[in-house]
Each structure stands twice: as structure tokens, then as C-alpha cells.
Structure 1
Amino acid sequence: MQTNLPPANLTPGFVWLFLSPIGRLGRKPYWLGLLLLWIVVAIAANMWARSLPADADFATLQLSDFVSSNPLFPFLFLLVTVVELALVIKRLQDIGLPGLLALLAFVPVINVIGIFAVGFIPSSEGPNRYGPEPNSYFRRG
């Protein structure tokens, strides 16, 4: 066993899971985190759809219609984007890839394919430069 590795946090919490881009994230918590995000988005979309008049034509709706229905929605989607990026960055690092690849989440079509692809690729074996094992991170020594 190597003794030159920094100490590790093997039991990170929810703040780390949803907000920190540091460390490694296994497939199961990745999918559960994304599922929670998608549920939040679905609830917000349902609230918005129910606030529209019954005769509203979805083809003619614009972004301003969405924002004016509830001024907190843009902040919600900004938070969802930050959380999604944190999940994807940690998942990429678990695979052994640099977290900067998560910026591809802003490229249409690649974002959907990439977010699903990293959820199916197995974790790298043993410690890597991002953490000692999935769902962990190195502490600063």
C-alpha cells in the first residue's frame, strides 16, 4: 500500500454530492442525483404548464412567457445546471477523465449523449488522481 497518498474523505455528504466538483462519483449516486434533478425540473415544468391558460398554443410560447409565470424559475434552472455540472464532473473524474470535459454539456446533442454515456462507463479501478475510490475525494494535507 502506498503511504504517500493524502488522507481521503470516504463519506462525503449531500453538499459535496450536489455542489462540489471535487472527487469521484460512482454510477449509482450519479443516476440517483440526476433522477432527483429531473424530478425537480418536471415539477417546475408542470407548475408552469398549469399556470398557462387552457387555450394556450405551446408553439407560440416564448421564453418571456415562461419567466413571467414565475420569476424564480430562471434561478431554479441555474441551480439545476450547477448541480448537473458538479455530478458530471465528478463522474468524469471517477472514470479517470478530466472534469473540463463536462463543458461539453453545453453543446446540443452531445450534452444528452454525454450525460448518459458517463453514467454507463464503469469506474476506474483503484485510486486515481481525483480520489481513492468512487464516492470519495482526497483531502488537502
Structure 2
Amino acid sequence: MQKGQIFWLFFGFSGRVSRAAFFLAGMLLAILQAFTLYRFTLAPEGSGASGVWALSFWALFFISVFSSVALGVKRLHDFGKPGIFAVALFIPMVSIIAFIALCVFPGDAGANEYGRRTNAPKD
């Protein structure tokens, strides 16, 4: 995978993404958030390290929210659905069910209005 494809995966809104790519990218974001939170809890209270890890966590949190929306939109595109339904990923309790559904159910076989193939921006 090239650098441009990684950027598209986490920040692009066009095209489609497969179940595996959606799941793995989502887990990577969750692991990175958990790691920065873990490091923040280990840092002595009021120390410079504590401030750096807190800032790192919040920066990563906002990047992850944006990336989660981008991933959700592209995964919905794989079903031939509009990306606005990605809002369901931010409704408590519904978000867990929506994430699991997007990881389990296959998308459209073949081309649809959002692209000819999965894991690529729309041509």
C-alpha cells in the first residue's frame, strides 16, 4: 500500500472500503487511542510528560473521530448507501451494532455508483 492510499483510507471520503480494511483501520485507531491514554495514566500528575500525553491523546482523539467518519462513509459506499448514515457510528449503543454490522455484512459485488472496486477511491 502506498502512502497516498494510507492517507485516502483514513482521511478520504470518496470510494469504497472492504470489511477487512474497515475493521483493521478501526482497530488501529482504537489501539493508538488506548496507548496514548495508557501512557497519560502512567505519567506523574502535573509533570511535563503528563501534559504531552494528554495533548497527544486529545489530538489523536479528534483525528480518530474524523477518520472514523471517513471510514464509515466509505464502508457505507461499499453497500451503495449514502455516507450520511455514518452518523450512526456516534450514537451510543447503536454505534456498537453499526460497527459490527459494517464489519460482518459484505458490500455490493462489483461496481456501484461509488466506485468500480473496493479499497480504492472513486475513479
Q: TM-score, normalised by structure 1?
A: 0.73
Q: Tell me the residue number matched to 1:114.
A: 98
CA distance in 2, matches of 1:115, 1:52: 35
Task: Tell me if structure 1 keeps the 8 A contact 2:88–2:94.
Answer: yes
Q: Is the 8 A contact 2:36 2:56 kept in 1?
A: no
Aligned length: 116
- Offset at 1:70? 2.0
Whether 1:39 and 2:31 are equivalent positions in the alignment is yes
The structure carrying a bigger helix percent of its residues is 2
Structure 1 partner of 2:14:
22
Q: Deviations over 1:97-116 (max 9, x none)?
A: 11110012221111121112
Question: In the aligned structure 2, how far is the partner of 1:88 from the partner of 1:82?
Answer: 10
Question: Matched residue of 2:95: which SS?
Answer: helix
Q: Retained in 1: the 8 A contact 2:22–2:75? A: yes
Contact 2:37-2:53 at 8 Å conserved across structures: no
SS at match of 1:13: helix
Unaligned regions of 5+ residues in structure 1, if any?
Answer: 1-11, 54-65
Deviating above 6 A after TM superposition, structure 1's stretches of 4 or more consecutive aligned residues are 66-69
What stretches of structure 2 of length at least 5 have no aligned partner? none
In structure 2, relative to structure 1, the CA distance for the partners of 1:120 and 1:82 (3 Å cut) is same
User: In the TM superposition, what are the counterparts of 1:78-97 in structure 2 within 5 Å?
Assistant: 78-97=62-81
Identity, % of aligned positions: 29
The answer to which structure, 1 or 2, has the higher relative contact order (CA under 8 A, 6+ apart) is 1
For residue 16 of structure 1, give the secondary structure of its aligned residue in structure 2.
Answer: helix
Deviation at residue 23 of structure 1 after TM alignment = 0.5
